[in-house]
Amino acid sequence: MHILIERLAFGGAGIGRDEGKVVFVRGGLPGDILKVRITKDKGKYAEAEIEDIVRPSLDRTEPLCPVFGKCGGCQWQHLSYSSQLKAKENILKETLERIGGIKDIEVDLIVPSPMHYGYRSRVTLSTWFHEGKRRVGYHQERSRVRIEIEGCPIAREQVDETISRLSDSLSKTNSFRDPLKRLNIVSNDNRAFVTLVTPLGEDVRKFKSLRNYLKKSLGTEDIGMAGDEEPEFEFVILGLKFYCIPSVFIQANYEVSEQLTETLIEWADLGENERVLDLYSGIGNFSLHLAKRAKEVVGVDFSVKAVKLSEKSARANSIKNVAFDASPTELFIEESVRRGDRVDLVVLDPPREGAMEILGGIAELSPERIIYVSCDPPTLARDLKRLRELGYQLVRIRPFDMFPQTYHIESLALLLKI
């Protein structure tokens, strides 16, 4: 079957039609004419794989990664960067309209990443034994199949070098066969830091010999274990110092993260007497910048590790009008509503699943402004629809290209109380 790819979907696949039925083609690009084979027929739509490229899109490029198309980390290395940005703008607009029913707002132009490759400061790797040797790599897209790698073109230089050295060191020893859950590697642009993550319930002590072997092999002390002794590092965002460890989440693109934070500060438009609630606050990267401009900020995150790091960063920056609470966000909102707390601005940066369960509580707190940071357009559109039903008007939305070469889209949305 031959098909013309018309556009790209969230998830990375190309979209074409066969006798009116939508067909999702993994690896297809707008303008491609492809010979495809249907792999799944879902009734209203189908999924297909490419058998041959009859006529390539003019926007096709040569991917840099030798395992592109197998590894699940990137979907669009074969697409020009300008076309990636255009596709992400279109996907966000279409998703807001289709899921959120939002047609009455102009989406801002996407903020591009200064670095199209070599931008990623944090990666998570699998490690496993195969044919008598330990290997490291990523999972194949939508699969448990693992793809061995010796480097990663989208990773920052220190991370890429560490992947290569870890791969080499682990492949040379058969002494440590206990399974690891994963490896976390992060860079602060000076050094790379590694955490070994053991399976749930495993005694971390039996992995210490592996950690010690890697320290000696790589010639570094910056290797630790989750739940034991993790290497702590510091980095700077817009002039403020932050602390983190490899097992705690931070944005992987420092340059775009700074641009997003600048925009958030601008849209917050804080006065010195205003109170801010920062939900899913992580290591406090938004909380501390907002506290420099507000009367009081409360950051809430379920991770005790993240909260302790936030508090350390606040002390390092001599910021005293911020407090952090290590609570599940849902419970904190319930208690806050019960106490009748007053909030002028709510910032929320939820996980991919969104924040539907707390939106009603946020509305009961009656903030004048809400800023929603999202990494998932479908759940963002769903949650924005609900916030509009709860009495808030979406006045601004801007996408950020936090993850070039992938379909992922980071967005910032500003809502005002009607």
Catalytic sites, residue numbers: 375
Identify the CA nearest to 370 among candidates 231, 268, 291. Answer: 268
Beta bridge partner(s), residue 48: 25, 38
Class of residue 34 by CB neighbours under 10 A (exposed 0-12, middle 13-18, buried 19+): buried
Q: How distant, in Å, are the alpha carbons of 3, 38, 47, 405 from that of 21?
A: 11, 12, 11, 28
d(C-alpha 14, C-alpha 9), whole Å:
6
Strands of 392-400's sheet in order across:
322-325, 296-300, 275-279, 345-348, 369-374, 410-417, 392-400
Cite the DSSP H helix spans in 101-207. Answer: 157-171
Longest dimension (CA), the chain: 65
The per-residue DSSP string of 368-396 comes to: SEEEEEES-HHHHHHHHHHHHHTTEEEEE
3-state secondary structure of 129: strand
